[in-house]
Structure 1
Amino acid sequence: MHYRVMDIRHLTVFAAVAQDLSFTRAAERLLLAQSAVSTTVRELEHELGVELFDRTHRQIRLTRAGDELLVRALDIVDRMRQIEEAMSEPGTGLRGTVSMGLMTAVNLVDVPGLLGEFHATNPQVTVQLRTARLGSSDLVAQLERGEIDIALLAAVNRLPASLRGGVVASSPFVVVVPAQHPLARSQSVSLGQLDGEGFIDVPLGYGSRRISDDAFAAAGTSRRVLMEVAEIDTVAEYVVAGLGLALVPQFAAMGAQDVRLLRPQEDIPPFEVWAAVSRRRPLRRATSALLDLMKRELVDPLVAGSPDAAPATNGA
């Protein structure tokens, strides 16, 4: 008789590797030895009779079978967490895990302070932080796939229909020029005056990049992006080096030396940070408690239950 060895542990480890596309990062997140993670995945592949990862490239990739299993594994792991929460004894406090996605280099929300307060009230809840690989569009996809429970992301105009949430912080856009630039003595500038200039920006898929691109398109001004950088808070350094100008949220250039921040004369919507969750997945109690804390502590009111969360995707 053949007894299956697959259990929730196998699925949890597989999901971690699949989300990070790295055995090393998954091992660090799970607090396991990398050899234990590799062995667990191999056991699962042997049990299912398929390869879940293509290991022939420099970075591992999910196979078609791996893609299909990931959707089901995340659903099973999520259901198990719901069962654990439901079976916890009344009065023992919240338990479980909250997976939270963040934008890189966006400091408009004091995440350590927020989570410190959350931990003080809910010491038995584990919070796993994950940063976006491809900007806010990546965080949206992770929420939709169920890979994370909540995210702080940038949204343009409004959240996708698959998500709900609200604005928790914002920052106006500024034009960043070198201190020696002919426009440096101005207080404001129209985008039309920047025609022909080279620019530095973050890659496509980042919320701030979309706002910048839309602003120049609305002004009828072409823009040449000469350099794309991964971290929005480094843009000003490249401006100082004479590699171009930048149109970025003000927070990204605050404190930069030898640059001037000019107010755009056009009506450019601010960069807004949203706290977002999926509409399609039930909200676990630990995630709901974190949302409640954001409602109380963050500057702008969080409209977590509104079907049309106010208008307004760290990468930025």
Structure 2
Amino acid sequence: MEIRQLEYFVAVADEKNFGRAANRLHVVQSAVSAGIQTLERDLATSLFDRRGKRTELTDAGEALLPRARRALDAMRDARDAVSEVSGGLSGTLRVGTLTSIPLVDIPAVLGEFHRQHPGVKLVTGGTPSGSAGLVASLLEHRLDLAFVSLPAVPPVGIDVTLLGRAPLMVALPHGHRLANRPHVTLHDLADEDFVDLPPGFGNRELVDRAFSAAGLSRRVALEITDIGTAVQYVQYGLGVSVLPEFLLNETPGVTVVRIDGDLPWWSVGVASASNRALGSAGKALLEIIQQAVLHGSGHSCA
């Protein structure tokens, strides 16, 4: 059994497809197929049930997967140790990102990391389901770190380093019937058309839960993927939006009103899987991110 064979095995298990696994590993599909066949021959068992276009783990494959991940993590740690002694980090660091992260200048942070650790290959990407999708990728060990917006208590198996938090306020277009009030309730807003992110994104989950806890439903008329642009849609009368306070600084044509009640605070952090020790490259990037937020490289909030 070779480490490369385990890398092939984990990639196919994650992707559920030999072709996608080969693309992820930057090798030809025949190499992945041959590696898996050799591994199955060495273990005298089938690891995958190949039916149609989808490839599923057998019971033996399910038993091997967590042990294969641990073996690859141990190999990564061994490489880290040697790299640190020899004067520089190496390997690949996979980072999940959201479309907009108001507290952090992501290009600047990643640029600084690359300047300090040029031997580490950075791979970044998002998901169409926002923080929920990033959490799933962390739990599957497809990512090492991810920027997420999650509830105060993160999902089981996820550790979060908080970067910032802010209260939720409602943005109303100029001339709205509620714009002259000093504060509103969720009941006041229940019949409005909302601008918000798709399901799975942190802001959407927080607001949906708040309405549900109050025994109310709401109508999201316009879904966007960049929280930083939501207030602009409000500005042009396309709906109202409940957003973190620091995104709502004096936009022309928009009135910001406080919401009464015990609403959760919006937060953003860097998440990792609890059952997988963060490697040296991940720790180095996390330190750079924390320093950037501490010294005001992004927006600040309480």
Per the shorter chain, which TM-score range? 0.7 to 0.9
1:269 has 2:264 as partner: yes
Q: Which residue of 2 aligns with 1:42?
A: 33
- Quote the Cα distance in structure 2 between the aligned partners of 1:225 and 1:121: 47
Q: Which residue of 1 aligns with 2:225?
A: 231
Q: Which residue of 1 aligns with 2:90?
A: 95
Q: Which residue of 2 aligns with 1:285?
A: 280
> 1:149·1:277 contact (CA, 8 Å) conserved in 2?
yes
> 2:104·2:292 contact (CA, 8 Å) conserved in 1?
no
Of 179-188 and 206-215, the range deviating more from structure 2: 179-188
> 1:172·1:270 contact (CA, 8 Å) conserved in 2?
yes
Uncovered stretches (5+) of structure 1, i.e. residues with no partner:
1-5, 302-316
Deviation at 1:168, TM superposition (A): 0.8
- Quote the Cα distance in structure 2 between the aligned partners of 1:288 and 1:229: 35
Aligned CA distance change for structure 1 residues 53 and 139 (closer, same or farther; 3 Å): farther
Code of the aligned partner of 1:85: D
Code of the aligned partner of 1:223: S
Deviation at 1:211, TM superposition (A): 1.6
- Per-residue CA distance 1:256-284 (angstroms, 9 max, x = gap): 77654433233433311112233322332
TM-score by length of 2: 0.75
- Quote the Cα distance in structure 2 between the aligned partners of 1:185 and 1:207: 29
- Quote the Cα distance in structure 2 between the aligned partners of 1:128 and 1:67: 27
Deviation at 1:94, TM superposition (A): 1.9
Identity %: 33
- Quote the Cα distance in structure 1 between the aligned partners of 2:50 and 2:261: 49
1:277 alignment partner, SS class: strand
- Quote the Cα distance in structure 2 between the aligned partners of 1:210 and 1:159: 13
- Per-residue CA distance 1:132-157 (angstroms, 9 max, x = gap): 34332333333333332222212212
Uncovered stretches (5+) of structure 2, i.e. residues with no partner:
297-302
Of 76-85 and 229-238, the range deviating more from structure 2: 229-238
> 1:203·1:228 contact (CA, 8 Å) conserved in 2?
no
- Quote the Cα distance in structure 2 between the aligned partners of 1:240 and 1:211: 22
Q: How many equivalent pairs are there?
A: 290
- Quote the Cα distance in structure 2 between the aligned partners of 1:119 and 1:69: 34
> 1:108·1:170 contact (CA, 8 Å) conserved in 2?
no
Residue number among 74, 78, 103 corresponding to 1:108 in the alignment: 103
Of 269-278 and 233-242, the range deviating more from structure 2: 233-242
Q: Which residue of 2 aligns with 1:85?
A: 80
2:104 alignment partner, SS class: coil
- Per-residue CA distance 1:71-116 (angstroms, 9 max, x = gap): 4443332222122223336242222222222233334321211111
Of 230-239 and 268-277, the range deviating more from structure 2: 230-239
- Per-residue CA distance 1:218-252 (angstroms, 9 max, x = gap): 5x351223447361436556656766433233566
Residue number among 218, 222, 240 corresponding to 2:216 in the alignment: 222
> 2:191·2:218 contact (CA, 8 Å) conserved in 1?
yes
> 2:17·2:55 contact (CA, 8 Å) conserved in 1?
no
Q: Which residue of 1 aligns with 2:174?
A: 179
Cα RMSD after superposing both structures: 3.8
Aligned CA distance change for structure 1 residues 103 and 20 (closer, same or farther; 3 Å): farther
- Per-residue CA distance 1:185-213 (angstroms, 9 max, x = gap): 55643222113234343344332223212
- Quote the Cα distance in structure 2 between the aligned partners of 1:194 and 1:141: 32
